Amino acid sequence: MDSFGYINDLKEIIEQNIDASQSYNLVSREEKNKILARTFNNQANRHKNFAYKLAEIAHVYDQSTIKNIRNGSIVDHYNNNWHDLEKALLTGTDQALINECIRLERLALTKYEELSSGYLPFDVQDEIDDQQNSIRDYIINLEKIAYELEQNSRI
């Protein structure tokens, strides 16, 4: 990967973070379980911040687009994978919704790992590493919530 070969992959990750933020926002507004709603709202904000930080650090968009990213949108873009989260909200249980979140976050980690396998400027790599760690922590948190829900359903 040449020194600028990462740009398209980085843009894809930024766009996926916007999509994730939008999906988590919708799910958090509709979720009846207050703990899950708060968890999803927090993750929506994290994904929006992930996108903004990467766009700002990497300088892969013009200032107008970066402003839109900061506000949580990129015009005419929506990733179908994150749409699955909204479908899970409408068709499943809290457990199914958590499982879908975990699946999608793991897919996101795969994209981050692919990007990290090539050359990245130090500041971009540092931010990617921080975001990967945050996603891993979130997955662990979701797994704990899923376990608690499972235990409570047995009572």
Q: pLDDT digit string (tens) for 17-56?
A: 988 998 899 899 989 899 999 999 999 999 999 999 998 8
- pLDDT value, residue 2: 44
Angle at 36 between CA 34 and CA 42, to 5 degrees: 100
Residue 137: burial class (beta carbons within 10 Å; 0-12, 13-18, 19+): exposed
Cβ contacts of 128-131, under 8 Å, gap ≥ 24:
128/54, 131/50, 131/53, 131/54
Q: pLDDT digit string (tens) for 64-107?
A: 777 777 666 665 444 556 656 666 666 678 888 999 999 999 99
- What pTM, to 2 d.p., does this model score? 0.85
Contact between 79 and 73 under an 8 Å Cβ cutoff? The reply is no
Residues 33 and 28: their CA atoms lie apart, in Å, by: 9
Give the CATH superfamily of 7-153.
Answer: Ferritin, core subunit, four-helix bundle (1.20.1260.10)
From 99, 116, 102, select the one nearest 13 (Cα to Cα). 116
Angle at 109 between CA 49 and CA 40, to 5 degrees: 50
Q: How confident is the model at residue 1 (pLDDT cuts 50, 70, 90)?
A: very low
